[in-house]
Chains A and B, each alone.
Chain A
């Protein structure tokens, strides 16, 4: 397989890798917790597109039985397995993001910030105050 043929033949996957790397970058580099969760969402989107684009078939139709096509000729339908798996993955992804945002709301109510450095500073100050109180008593 020549280089150009490989590059053009797999074109959807390059977009997937770009999204994957963007999501990882957001999760690692960004210091705001909302940005980290958004990075996680982008990562999930990339994984879902990867699976779905591995199911696409040229010249085929959606996996719903068509009287005009018939079910005996399976080559005329796209691959339905990735669709079912990713249906589950979308639901689980939304559930994960929901729990994440609920934790963020709790953190904000307690510390009044969602930036990592400020949060660390406030936690340290609170701990020192608690230790001082313990020494006094």
Chain B
């Protein structure tokens, strides 16, 4: 099968998985469905010519799925049934989303067609990365050399997120009632 057929199949599969994840009533099944969407994304990256992203996405998705399933496997968590939204919110949301769909038609007319990207900035990276940084992989050359401060900021975000998670989870456990730790 050609690459494009696989890509269309994977993207359609992801849309199907998201619908299942949002509409299924059991929370644990919904988390597994969103994990399937993430795995399909990591395979779609391979067909979209991005192997670095495929590896990163695969790693993060597996870890996130394991942790989430461990957290939500308790009966009281995943037996929760989601309540129905009011009809007004539902109607307004549908109108708004239809407007987004219609507007995206106009916006995408300005973009170049799929498979023919704009290369003005990245031409410099592609032609000079090997000589200037010594890295064969242009993606790592940009991340760790040209945009090193961006990566530093990303690590700061990650650290802040870990600190926030620890703070949120610890204050409850220390107060001693109801917590399971």
**Given A22-B18, A48-B41, A10 and B114 touching (CB < 8 A)?**
yes
**Given A15-B12, A94-B64, A99-B161, A38 and B44 touching (CB < 8 A)?**
no
For chain A, residues 66 to 116, give those with C-beta under 8 angstroms from any C-beta of chain B. Answer: 71-72, 74-75, 77-81, 83-84, 86-88, 90-92, 94-99, 101-103, 105-106, 108-110, 112-116
In contact, A19 and B22 (Cβ under 8 angstroms) = no
**Given A30-B22, A77-B138, A110-B172, A102 and B157 touching (CB < 8 A)?**
no
Mask for A1-27, Cβ within 8 A of B = 1, else 0? 100001001111101011111111110
In contact, B82 and A32 (Cβ under 8 angstroms) = yes
- Does B27 make an interface contact (CB < 8 A)? yes
**Given A91-B60, A102-B169, A65 and B130 touching (CB < 8 A)?**
yes
Min CB gap A56→B, angstroms: 5
Min CB gap A119→B, angstroms: 10
Min CB gap A48→B, angstroms: 7
Min CB gap B166→A, angstroms: 8
B169: which A residues are within 8 A, CB to CB?
102, 105-106
- Does A29 make an interface contact (CB < 8 A)? yes
In contact, A80 and B125 (Cβ under 8 angstroms) = yes
A66 to B118, CA, bound (A): 21
A30 to B51, CA, bound (A): 34
- Does B21 make an interface contact (CB < 8 A)? yes
B130: which A residues are within 8 A, CB to CB?
65, 71
In contact, A84 and B147 (Cβ under 8 angstroms) = yes
In contact, B12 and A80 (Cβ under 8 angstroms) = no
Contact of A108 among B77, B109, B127, B158 (CB under 8 A): B77
- Does A62 make an interface contact (CB < 8 A)? yes
For chain B, residues 20 to 62, give those with C-beta under 8 angstroms from any C-beta of chain A. Answer: 21-22, 27, 30-31, 34, 37-38, 41, 44-45, 48-53, 56-57, 60
**Given A95-B157, A105-B71, A11 and B34 touching (CB < 8 A)?**
no
In contact, A87 and B15 (Cβ under 8 angstroms) = no
Mask for B145-175, Cβ within 8 A of A = 1, else 0? 0010011001001101110110011001000
B22: which A residues are within 8 A, CB to CB?
22, 25-26, 30, 35, 38-39, 42
**Given A22-B22, A77-B138, A102 and B168 touching (CB < 8 A)?**
yes
A75: which B residues are within 8 A, CB to CB?
119
Contact of A90 among B27, B60, B90 (CB under 8 A): B60
A-B contact pairs, 18 of them (CB 8 A): A13-B104, A17-B104, A25-B97, A28-B93, A31-B83, A35-B30, A39-B22, A49-B11, A52-B50, A55-B117, A64-B51, A64-B138, A74-B119, A74-B123, A84-B143, A105-B71, A109-B179, A116-B83
A residues at B contact (CB < 8 Å): 1, 6, 9-13, 15, 17-26, 28-32, 34-35, 38-39, 41-42, 45, 48-49, 52-58, 60-65, 71-72, 74-75, 77-81, 83-84, 86-88, 90-92, 94-99, 101-103, 105-106, 108-110, 112-118
